[in-house]
Amino acid sequence: MQPFFAERFGNASSIYSLGQDARQAVDQARQRCAAVLNARPSEIVFTSGGTESDNAALMGAAIALRERGNHIVTTRIEHHAVLNAAELLEKLGFDVTYVSPGRDGVVSPEAIEAALTPATSVVSVMLANNETGVIQPIAAITERVKRIATEQRRTIVMHTDAVQAAGYLSLDVDALGVDLLSLSAHKFNGPKGVGLLYMRRNTPFAPTQVGGAQERDRRAGTENTPGIVGMSVALEAADASREASAAKCLVLRDRLVAGITERIEDAHLNGHPTRRLPNNVNFTFARVEAEPLLMGLDLAGVAASSGSACTAASLEPSHVLIAMGNPVDQARSSLRLTPGPENTEEEVDYVVDTVAELVLRLRAMTGRSRRR
Ligand SMILES: Cc1ncc(COP(=O)(O)O)c(C=O)c1O
């Protein structure tokens, strides 16, 4: 990325040689990203990240198809980049059906099919959930959606938010069958503030960011050359090491789950036990609030998070855990641990020890240990 901040600073949309140098770098990056997705370079639209890609996917497809249908199907466990875009579309007159997952966090293809109406134009289901890591059966969902669209001779655009899956699952757009797919570079060790939207050829799309003719008129604005270059190299590297990283993380994840389950009573693993990303563990500990647990972990040098959005004053209950049928107090007190391939078994053991001690201490402080 470095040369594109300084000596190679040309604008990729300019005619002069410095601009053409940047253009070449952006084109190469587009080819690299397309290769990982098994897509054509022309089907890659660079964006400012996952949020923009999700917003553009939902709104761009819904608006383009509004004459043919104004119904959108999505799920209750999507990231807010999708949920809030769907809400905005509702305010603009679209109808949205929010499908619930099962207790295990999996959205069934049958439930998506049941939500389709003759007016459905867009379906958006994430590839892997950001809180629980639960992996959704996207290929099976797409297969049903497309079969119905073909039978009824209409268009239903299928989008998946693959932001959390990158680096751990295959992003082959033909195997997934999707028309639109969102990625965010910082989720696979790339720079922050850059992402992409894969857009299958001929997908109906009305651009929501308008102005210049960049990205073949699908996303206006001067290209973020250093970010795009950095993302493409990171995506290529993440994909090349995907299986090795997944295998390493799986060992660490299973060690974390086993250690926590063995050491802490009333610990509940949220989400399907195996149908989840290899780097995700999400626990609820009965009678323990997430906030002091997170603070204690931070003091001990462990960077963890709660599944829910933490503000200074309160911890919002997780919409994902609520959608999975958990009561609000449980949805407010989940702990999410995401080991990476660079972590070690010793670090995992340290985390298990630290979490176990903290849970014990917090329960003792609040007098909420279980009475036998
Ligand atoms: C599943 C999912 N979608 C979208 C986003 C938003 O991505 P960005 O922060 O790049 O806008 C995130 C970020 O955490 C995410 O986890």
Which pLDDT tens digit goes with each residue over 16-40?
899 999 999 999 999 999 999 999 9
User: Which residue's structure tokens are 């039978």?
Assistant: 151
Distance from Cα 80 to the centre of ligand 1, integer Å = 8
- Whether 297 has a pLDDT exceeding 80, the answer reads yes
* Predicted pLDDT of residue 369: 61
Total length of the chain? 372
- Return d(Cα 147, Cα 151) in angstroms, integer: 6
pLDDT digits (tens, 9 = 90+) for 112-161: 999 999 999 999 999 999 999 999 999 999 999 999 999 999 999 999 99
pLDDT, residue 201, reads 98
Q: Which residue has the higher pLDDT, 15 or 1?
A: 1
* pLDDT above 70: residue 262: yes
Residue nearest atom 4 of ligand 1, based on CA coordinates: 50
Q: What is the mean pLDDT of residues 192-214?
A: 97
For residue 311, pLDDT over 70 is answered with no
Looking at the predicted structure, is the pLDDT value of residue 72 above 80?
Answer: yes
Say how many Å lie between the CA of residue 50 and the centre of ligand 1: 5
Residue bearing the CA closest to ligand 1, atom 13: 50
What residue type is assigned to position 357 of the chain? E
Atom of ligand 1 nearest to the CA of 129: 1
Smallest Cα–Cα separation from 116: which of 71, 80, 169, 168?
71
In the reported structure, the alpha carbon of residue 51 is separated from the centroid of ligand 1 by a whole-number distance in angstroms of 6
Could you tell me which residues are beta bridge partners of residue 284? 268, 334
Position 371 pLDDT exceeds 60: no
346 pLDDT band, cuts 50/70/90, is very high
pTM for the structure as a whole: 0.96
